[in-house]
Every structure is written in C-alpha cells, then in structure tokens.
Amino acid sequence: MKVSMDDTDKNSEAQQSYTLGPLQSGPHCCDPRPLISVTDLSLHYGAKTALENVSLDIYQGCITALIGPSGCGKTSFLSALNRLTDMLPGCHVSGRIRFNDLDVCDPDLDVRLLRRDIGMIFQKPVPFPLSVRRNIELPLREHGMRRQAEIDAVVQQVLQDVGLWDEVKDRLNSPAQALSGGQQQRLCIARALALQPKVLLMDEPCSALDPIASGVVEDLILRLQGRYTVVIVTHNLAQARRIANYAGFLWMRERTGRLIEFGQCRQIFEAPAHALTASYVNGERG
Amino acid sequence: MSKDFLATVMIWLTALLISGFFLYLLTDMLIHGLDRLSWAYLLDAPLDAGRSGGIAPIVTATAILVLIAIIVAAPLGLATAVLLTEFTRQKSHFGRFVERSLDVLASVPSIIFGLFGNAFFCLFLGLGFSLLSGGLTLACMALPILIRSAVEGLRSAPDEYRLAAAALGMTRGAALLHLLLPTAAPALAAGLMLGIGRAGAETAALIFTSGYVDRMPESWFDSGRALSVHIYDLAMNVPGGDASAHAAALVLVLLLFTINSIAMGLTRRWQRGRIHSL
C-alpha cells in the first residue's frame, strides 16, 4: 500500500517537473525543440528491473548529461535510444521513445537507419583491428558509399573535425590500434560522425583516458554542441557541469534505477529541487 | 622458497619429459627411416607388399582423402560455428544441445566412425570402398574439432566489436565478415590444422571405408590406402617392413609439419594484409 502510494507520488512528480518548456538560458546554438522524447521508459534484464518510468526530453543541438552512481541504468538508458538493447540478452524495454516522429521501439523499424542517425561512443575506445582509414571507410561502405574519392573526402573531413588529421595523415594506413587511447577515442568519434548522425550517445567517453586526452575529447564534445545533439553519461560531475546544457540525475531506489531530477544543468548543480540531487552533486552521497 | 624450487623443478621436468619424448620419437623415425627416404621412394609404387618400392599412390590417396574431408567439413564447420556463436544465444537449449553433442562426437573412438562410414557411405549410399567414402567419414570425424575451435575463436573475438559495429548500423553479416572472422582467423587455422591432423593420421576409420588397395587411385570412387594404414600394414602384417614403415611415418610427420607451417604463415600474412586492403 505504502509502496504504491510512493509510486504514484513519483509519477506525478515526473510529469510536473521533467517535461520542460523551451530553453530559457544557455548557449544560443541550441534549438529548444525536443529531438528525442522519452516517456515512461522501463528496462528489464530478465526479472531484474534496471530502469523504471524514466521520462525526459532531449533537446536538439544541446548536450544532455546523465549523472548518477554506477549501476543506476545510465548506460542502459543510452542503449535503449539506439536500440542497442536488442543485442543484450534478456533485455526488455517498455515505454515510448520518439525520435523525429519516429517510434524507436517499433519492432518493424529499420534499426540500421536509426543507428545511422543516432551514433554511439563507448567507454573504452573500440577501434576495429583495421587501418585508421579503413576504420572510417568500412561503415561508410556498409551504408552504400562506393566512390573512393567521396570516401577519402569524408575521411579527411571527419578526421579534421576531431582534430586528428594532422596527427594521423601520414599513417592512415597503419593499424588504428597502435594509436594512443585518446586518439583512438577521437577516431571512434570521427567514425561515428562520418555517417552524419543527428545524435551522438556517449557512454563515459573520457573515463578510460588520461587527464590530457580526456581534456582534448571534452573540448571536442563542446565543439559538437549545436551541430549535433549529444547525450553523455559521465561520472565526472565537474565535466558534466562544464559541458552540459541539461542534466539528468539517476539514482538507485529499491534496486531500480530511477530518474530523480532533470533540468537545466546550472539548475541541477546550483539549485537542485531534490534533496538526493543536492547531496550527490555536493559530493555527500554516491 | 623450497616450495618454489620444487615447483620450478617439476615444471622443468615436465617440459623436458614432453620435449624429450617428442625428440625420441623423431630421432627413432629418422634413424630407422632416413635410409629408405629418397625421391624414388616418394615417386615409385610400392613393391613386394611395401618392403621395397615407394609410396606414391599412398601419398596421393592420403592427399585426396584429406582434401575431400576438409572441403566438406570446413564450410559446414564454419557455418555451424557462426550459427552457434552469432545467431543463437549461448544459454539456449538448442545451443547447449548442439555443443553437448559435439563434445560427445569428438570423443567417439574412430573405429565407431569407421563402422558408421561403412554402413552409411559404403553400403547405404552405395559408394563402396572408395576414397569418397573415406573422405566423407574423415569429414564427420574432423567436424566436431573444426566447429569447437571455430566457436572458441569467434567467442574470443571481443563483444565490443559486435556492439560497435551494430552501433554504426552495420549488419551482423558485415561485422562477421570484416571484423569477427579475421579476429578468429588464427583459431580457425589452428582448428583446420587439428582437423587435417586428425584426418591425415586416421587409420581405423579408413580400413572400413577407403580400404587398403595400394594401387594409384584413378578417381575418388577407387579404393585407396592412406599413409597411416600403410604404416599400420607394414608394421603389423608385413614381416621385414619395419624400415619402410619408419620411412612412411617420417613422411607423414614431415607432411603434417609442412602443412602446419604453411597454414600458420598464410594466416599471419593474411591478417597483416587485411589491415590495409578492403
């Protein structure tokens, strides 16, 4: 009885505070139009509930950071957005995700096109065991680009965009796995950008990197702002605060990840509405 | 300290024992077989039940047998491994059942395969005592090994490749072709080598299926004698055939060793080449 009371309470709270109006402040590059709308998203692995009733909007051109302790479902949430959850055994997603008038959860949806539009960067850089050039070329060819000149132009363009061109232009044909960790991660970002996505999902893209490489990647993410919609999961609160326009705070309650608070980044960090958020961003919990 | 010392001694002893055993086998074969080994031995037909003459028809029959076995087993094995690793969940009943069956098959004694091959290929399918029957029987024997090693190879390819490829909107097939199979290539080659090794060294299964006629085979419907059968025959049934048996054994070992080295070299070169070209 008490539990259900608590739940209804949470839901009404969710409806009130997490569906935001147009952006009030923040960089003007952001279009206040929600590009992805998530409604009542729940995610289960077998009998275990990883996420429950998450509703939030992701705004076009903005950087949205998801913060919270390990295991509260942040990565699962990202994977639901590009349907990578299909690949995880026993994973079941319910709720609604709309992306550009597209129902992401529709079983008949062509996930290849969806994933082309919503790229993903993983915590550990995943360069393929191919050359630097081939790493970018392979997905392009898989998506039907055939003319070598066109491909070469894209390769150069995206490598310039991630600031890697000068570092690798003389060794495009050497193995990508010989690059340093930070270079590998930027290569992965370049590889995702080559497909001209609208959204980039980043799952702690800096946490496997040393501080300097991490700083370079962070600057790169900031540069993506406005041109791409970025959703980034991070454990680094200072980083979230530096780069994000919006922030969502997730927390484990009854062994289930829940969205506690979602709002503009400054508000989450400076005037959190929820006591849990306040204690987390102040480093008292989590 | 003393425990460490003991462990070190044990490890060295074991290593020495194993390599010593191998060296003993090799020197024994070399001492007794090297005299008989010559180009003529490789290019002539056996005479006097193999006591003199050469082993040309026998090497030919062995090559045909192994070729048939590999041509049949390799694609089947690879396809099964791909199905098991990429398209069925590891914990599904189907996957478990197939893998359990493979483990049992891999440990079935070769004579049982021989009897099965005789009943199924020779009699039921009417292929008779022929290289084809023998090759197909060898394929059945090599299949569990091939599948096992290919499955291990594909499983050892990092899951991140699968996820990253999917996140780039690549199909499973593309990920398999461009990323997973190349990663698994050494394991696939090793499996192939084990398969060829098992097929090339097989005796019991072949006596029932390809027979032991030592004439030069003219087609794969002819009966033919494999090297291992030849060695067995010389050693057990032909008095005074010991020297020839040693020489044949030496040829078999050298043959397997050569195939092994070539395959390993090719795999390495192919992997290096893949980094650059499409």
The pLDDT, as a whole number, for residue A136 is 94
Tell me the pLDDT of chain B averaged across its residues. 87
- What does the pLDDT look like over B190-236, one tens digit per residue? 888 888 888 888 888 888 888 888 888 888 888 888 888 888 888 88
Quick one: which of A222, A235, A203, A223 has its CA closest to A118?
A: A203
The pLDDT, as a whole number, for residue A286 is 66
Q: Which residue has the higher pLDDT, B91 or B7?
A: B7
Cα nearest neighbour of B277 on chain A: A134
Helical ranges in A18-128 per DSSP H: 74-81, 111-117
- Rg for chain B, CA atoms, rounded: 22
Quick one: which of A57, A128, A68 has its CA closest to A96?
A: A57
Q: Do A188 and B278 touch (CB under 8 A)?
A: no
**Residue in A119, A131, A195 nearest the CB of B275:** A131
In the predicted model, is pLDDT for residue B174 greater than 80? yes
Q: Which domains does chain A have, with CATH numbers?
A: 2-119+198-281 (3.40.50.300)
What does the pLDDT average to over A260-283? 88
Per-residue confidence band for A11, with pLDDT thresholds at 50, 70 and 90: very low
Angle, alpha carbons B59-B62-B68 (nearest 5°): 140
Q: Do A142 and B179 touch (CB under 8 A)?
A: no
What does the pLDDT average to over B55-60? 88
Q: Which residue has the higher pLDDT, B257 or B19?
A: B19
In the predicted model, is pLDDT for residue B44 greater than 90? no
Q: Is A163 left (phi over 0), alpha (psi -120 to 50) or beta?
A: left
- What does the pLDDT look like over B138-170, one tens digit per residue? 999 999 989 988 998 898 888 899 999 999 999
Question: How many C-beta atoms surround the C-beta of residue B96 within 10 A?
Answer: 14
Q: Is B49 left (phi over 0), alpha (psi -120 to 50) or beta?
A: left
Instruction: Identify the burial level of B114 via C-beta atoms within 10 angstroms of its C-beta, where 0-12 means exposed, 13-18 middle and 19 or more buried.
Output: buried
In the predicted model, is pLDDT for residue B57 greater than 80? yes
Q: Do A120 and B91 touch (CB under 8 A)?
A: no
What does the pLDDT average to over A23-45? 72
Q: Which residue has the higher pLDDT, B277 or B246?
A: B246
User: Of all residues in chain A, what percent are helix, strand and coil, respectively (each to 5)?
Assistant: 40, 25, 35
The pLDDT, as a whole number, for residue B275 is 61
b/e A2-19 (16+ beta carbons within 10 angstroms → b): eeeeeeeebeeebeeebe
Query: What are the residue boundaries of the structural domains of chain B, listed by start?
Result: 34-276
The pLDDT, as a whole number, for residue B214 is 81
- What does the pLDDT look like over A56-101, one tens digit per residue? 999 888 899 999 888 888 889 999 999 999 888 888 999 999 998 8
The pLDDT, as a whole number, for residue A151 is 92
- How far is CA B247 from each of CA B34, B40, B65, B254, rounded to the nearest angstrom? 6, 12, 20, 11
pLDDT over 90 percentage in chain A: 35
Q: Which residue has the higher pLDDT, A183 or B89?
A: A183
Q: Do B169 and A112 touch (CB under 8 A)?
A: yes
Cβ–Cβ < 8 Å for A80, A259? no
The pLDDT, as a whole number, for residue A2 is 39
Per-residue confidence band for A188, with pLDDT thresholds at 50, 70 and 90: very high
In the predicted model, is pLDDT for residue B177 greater than 80? yes
Question: Mutation test of the interface with chain B: which of A130, A184, A231, choosing the one with the most B Cβ atoms within 10 A?
Answer: A130
Torsion of CA B259, B265, B267, B272, to 10 degrees: -170
Phi, psi for residue B174 in degrees, rounded to 5: -65, -45
Per-residue confidence band for A161, with pLDDT thresholds at 50, 70 and 90: confident
Q: What ipTM does this complex have?
A: 0.83
Which residues of chain A lie closer than 8 angstroms to B89, CB-CB?
Answer: 89
The pLDDT, as a whole number, for residue A31 is 61
CATH topology of domain B34-276: MetI-like fold (1.10.3720)
In the predicted model, is pLDDT for residue A3 greater than 60? no
d(CA A229, CA A60): 5
In the predicted model, is pLDDT for residue B124 greater than 60? yes
**Residue in A84, A111, A114 nearest the CB of B163:** A84
What does the pLDDT average to over B18-37? 88
Q: Which of residues 127-166 of B touch A (CB under 8 A)?
A: 158, 160-166
Helix axes B181-200, B242-276, angle to 10 degrees: 170
In the predicted model, is pLDDT for residue A17 greater than 90? no
Residues 6+ apart with CB under 8 A from A139: A191, A194, A195, B165, B168, B169, B170
- What does the pLDDT look like over A196-237, one tens digit per residue? 999 999 999 998 888 888 888 888 888 888 888 999 999 889
